[in-house]
């Protein structure tokens, strides 16, 4: 598995991976190119057997926010939200082809970003996670709410599969974020996750 900065020749394949992972919410070729034009180092690809199997985009910021993904990322375009002097890295998007062997795309992406950002002097890496288990959980826990849902259980494990993925890669919960991203299974909500240690 190779992880490297995205080049213009990768864009068509990256758009394919985005479509598979995100369906109608996938980033277009123009958006993928735009993110790289604003902050080249922030866009990376994961390659397996010569094929793009993963893509991630990130930006730098100078604060951590509770606002929606659209507000925090300039609707995913990053032109108005990337701060070249910022000391906090923020995950804009990540996508993978299903069934990638070994440790999976997320592990390789987060490992590469950790070396680049925390190893390069950033104070923290943040990501706004969706909470795709929330709608199912709230159906059976009608007295509960988003804050209850995102807090780790007594055994330390998160209820949500996407939060568990970030926790398995060194992230901790900062706060829940109502109306973060229009994902049906999350009822539009999310949670801010942070990693500060190599
Ligand atoms: C998130 C993603 C990049 C991870 O890819 P990967 O590292 O190759 O690994 P997998 O897809 O096998 O997922 C790893 C684990 O995370 C869980 N997970 C991650 N995102 C999830 C989601 N949105 N819903 C449910 N489970 C999710 C999986 O169930 C899996 O759990 P398991 O190991 O217990 O089976 C990929 O699943 C993807 O492209 N998802 C759609 C887009 C997305 O949610 N991006 C992340 C937010 S920006």
Mean pLDDT across 122-146: 98
Q: Which of 54-63, 93-102, 139-148, 153-162 has the lowest mean pLDDT?
A: 93-102
Q: Does the Cβ of 161 fall within 6 Å of ligand 1?
A: yes
Q: Does the Cβ of 22 fall within 6 Å of ligand 1?
A: yes
pTM equals: 0.96
pLDDT band at 69 (very low <50, low <70, confident <90, very high): very high
- Give the residue, by CA position, lying nearest to ligand 1 atom 25: 161
Token pair belonging to 61: 């910021």
Q: CB–CB of 57/10 below 8 Å? A: no
The CA 85 to ligand 1 mean position distance, Å, reads: 31
Distance CA 108, CA 47 (A): 10
**C-beta neighbour count of 85 within 10 angstroms:** 6
Torsion 109-12-7-53 (CA) sign:
positive
Mean pLDDT across 54-73: 98
- Give the residue, by CA position, lying nearest to ligand 1 atom 26: 161
94: nearest Cα among 33, 34, 164, 43: 43
Position 101 pLDDT exceeds 90: no
Instruction: Report the percentage of the chain scoring pLDDT > 70.
Output: 100
Question: Which domains, and CATH codes, for the chain?
Answer: 1-122 (3.40.630.30), 129-171+180-198 (no CATH)
């Amino acid at each position: 598995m190779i992880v490297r900065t995205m080049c213009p020749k990768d864009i068509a394949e990256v758009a394919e991976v985005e479509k598979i992972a995100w369906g109608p919410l996938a980033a277009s070729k123009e958006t993928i190119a735009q993110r790289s034009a604003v902050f080249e180092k922030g866009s990376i690809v994961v390659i397996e057997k010569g094929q793009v199997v993963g893509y991630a985009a990130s930006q730098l910021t100078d604060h951590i926010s509770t606002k929606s993904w659209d507000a925090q990322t300039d609707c995913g375009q990053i032109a108005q939200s990337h701060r070249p002097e910022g000391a906090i890295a923020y995950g804009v998007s990540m996508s993978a082809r299903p069934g990638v062997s070994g440790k999976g795309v997320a592990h390789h992406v987060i490992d590469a970003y950790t070396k680049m950002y925390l190893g390069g002097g950033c104070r923290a890496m943040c990501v706004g996670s969706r909470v795709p288990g929330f709608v199912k959980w709230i159906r059976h826990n009608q007295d509960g709410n988003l804050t209850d849902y995102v807090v780790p259980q007594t055994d330390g494990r998160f209820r949500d599969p996407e939060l568990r993925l970030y926790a398995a890669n060194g992230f901790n919960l900062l706060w829940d974020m109502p109306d973060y991203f229009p994902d049906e299974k999350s009822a539009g909500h999310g949670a801010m996750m942070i990693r500060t240690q190599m």
